[in-house]
């Protein structure tokens, strides 16, 4: 199958969960199908997948409505014998529809979340306009690639008639890691901590409202409770774009702010517990998928765990009520004081391992051709 993947923003080298999702799905689908990428000039070439990355779009906001790109994309479709187009997000659906009707190709929209709900949560007045556009766009597509089963059910209930295909955010890790203790020692050494220090991790882009809300819950409720009831621990916070009002974070007892971490895998593997008190936002919390893949017990708010198939992570995922930092702190204490670490179940990797996802998605996409 020959696929044209339209991504109108930089995703290589990836720096966040959504961009890692695009990078990895292209990486693994390109092993079983031929992909041509219509992207932006800022993308970096990578040896991790063999795709022709073409700088079709500028960085101007007008790229989302520039229908003149039809002619460039039509030539790409003809030269590469494209059978299917995948659009990242619904915004460029008008261009996709032109290519569908005039070039005789199928097109699918990959939705990382229900976009209009995300902007509704952010208080944007125009979310109703986006709601109507999003539903219209999804109904014009031959398929909608849904990042969670919740989103899939939502689109179905909203009357979307296109084929709905599960396309979750995955992990490149095939089984529970064996070097967790080595990674913890690396963290302890780097931050000059004693060998019995309990490591509690929180991670995310820190100018994103759901992550900021989670950070507030940690600082206002989780950490104060831990200070009274747990000795010798550190909450390590990783993530870029910290708002200025949190500049004093470096002085808060038992909190270490690391900023952006190049190899976040070391922290995911080395942590005793990962906490996820985030509230709001759509899709799935990619950091939750990664923490469980790295074999780290995760304590999440109910809202923060939306979209994850919880039955795949029995024994490793603990759910607490929304906005309840005290219960999260209590569960954290219970987990860090346990002497044995059970691995993440095989069922989790069966569902969330990228090669498995790619095989299933390509099979379903081939069925619509």
Among residues 213, 211, 225, 277, the alpha carbon closest in space to that of 253 is found at 225
For residue 46, what are the contacts with CB-CB under 8 A and spacing of at least 6? 12, 13
- What does the pLDDT read at residue 13? 85
For residue 6, what are the contacts with CB-CB under 8 A and spacing of at least 6? 38, 39, 56, 73, 85, 86, 87, 88, 92, 95, 96
Structure tokens at 6: 């339209």
Containing 2, the helix (H) or strand (E) segment is strand 2-6
CA 295 distance to own-chain centroid: 18
The sheet with strand 255-259 has its strands ordered as 255-259, 233-238, 198-203, 273-276, 298-301, 317-320
Strand partners, 174: none
Matching CATH topology for 2-170+353-366 and 180-351? yes
- What does the pLDDT read at residue 348? 96
Q: For 209-278, where are the alpha helices, taking DSSP H only?
A: 209-217, 223-229, 264-270
Each residue's pLDDT expressed in tens, for the chain with a length of 369 residues = 999 999 999 999 887 778 889 999 999 999 999 999 999 999 998 888 888 999 999 888 888 888 999 999 999 999 999 999 999 989 999 999 999 999 999 999 998 778 888 888 778 999 999 999 999 999 999 999 999 888 999 999 999 999 999 999 999 999 989 889 999 999 999 999 999 999 999 999 898 888 999 999 999 999 999 999 999 999 999 999 999 999 888 789 999 999 989 899 999 999 999 999 999 877 788 899 999 999 999 999 999 999 899 999 999 999 999 999 999 999 999 999 997 888 999 999 999 999 999 999 999 999 999
Containing 63, the helix (H) or strand (E) segment is none
For residue 162, what are the contacts with CB-CB under 8 A and spacing of at least 6? 138, 139, 140, 141, 142, 143, 144
**Could you tell me which CATH number the domain at 2-170+353-366 has?**
3.40.50.2000
Question: How far, in Å, CA of 330 to CA of 318, rounded?
Answer: 12
Positive or negative torsion for Cα 246, 247, 253, 256? positive
Question: How far, in Å, CA of 291 to CA of 220, rounded?
Answer: 23
**Structural domain boundaries of the chain?**
2-170+353-366, 180-351
Place of tokens 């860090």: 336
For residue 3, what are the contacts with CB-CB under 8 A and spacing of at least 6? 29, 33, 34, 35, 36, 82, 83, 84, 85, 86, 365
Q: How far is CA 269 from CA 103, 178, 261, 355, 360, in A?
A: 48, 9, 14, 21, 28
Q: Please give the class, per CATH, of domain 180-351.
A: alpha beta
């Amino acid at each position: 199958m020959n696929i044209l993947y339209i991504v109108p923003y930089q995703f290589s080298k990836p720096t966040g969960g959504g961009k890692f999702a695009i990078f990895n799905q292209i990486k693994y689908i390109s092993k079983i199908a031929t992909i041509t990428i219509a992207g932006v000039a800022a993308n970096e070439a990578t040896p991790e997948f063999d795709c022709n990355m073409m700088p079709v779009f500028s960085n101007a906001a007008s790229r989302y409505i520039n229908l003149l790109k039809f002619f460039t994309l039509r030539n790409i479709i003809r030269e590469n014998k494209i059978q299917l187009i995948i659009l990242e997000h619904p915004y460029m659906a008008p261009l996709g529809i032109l290519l569908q009707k005039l070039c005789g190709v199928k097109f699918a929209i990959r939705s990382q979340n229900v976009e209009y709900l995300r902007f509704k949560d952010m208080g944007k007045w125009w979310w109703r306009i986006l709601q109507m556009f999003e539903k219209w766009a999804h109904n014009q597509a031959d398929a909608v690639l849904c990042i969670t089963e919740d989103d899939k059910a939502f689109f179905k209930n909203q009357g979307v008639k296109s084929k709905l295909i599960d396309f979750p955010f995955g992990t490149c890790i095939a089984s529970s890691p064996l070097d967790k203790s080595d990674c913890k020692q690396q963290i302890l050494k780097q931050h000059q901590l004693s060998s019995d220090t309990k490591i509690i991790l929180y991670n995310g882009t820190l100018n994103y409202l759901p992550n900021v809300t989670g950070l507030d819950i940690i600082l206002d409720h989780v950490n104060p409770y831990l200070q009274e009831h747990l000795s010798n621990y550190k909450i390590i916070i990783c993530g870029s774009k910290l708002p200025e009002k949190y500049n004093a974070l470096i002085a808060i007892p038992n909190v270490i702010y690391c900023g952006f971490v190049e190899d976040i895998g070391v922290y995911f593997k080395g942590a005793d517990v990962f906490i996820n008190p985030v509230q709001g936002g759509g899709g799935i919390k990619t950091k939750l998928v990664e923490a469980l893949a790295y074999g780290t017990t995760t304590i999440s708010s109910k809202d923060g765990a939306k979209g994850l198939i919880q039955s795949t992570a029995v024994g490793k995922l603990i759910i607490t009520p929304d906005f309840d930092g005290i219960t999260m702190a209590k569960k954290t204490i219970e987990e860090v004081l346990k002497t044995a670490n059970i691995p993440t179940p095989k069922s989790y990797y069966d569902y969330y391992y990228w090669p498995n996802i790619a095989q299933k998605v390509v099979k379903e996409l081939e069925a619509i051709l």
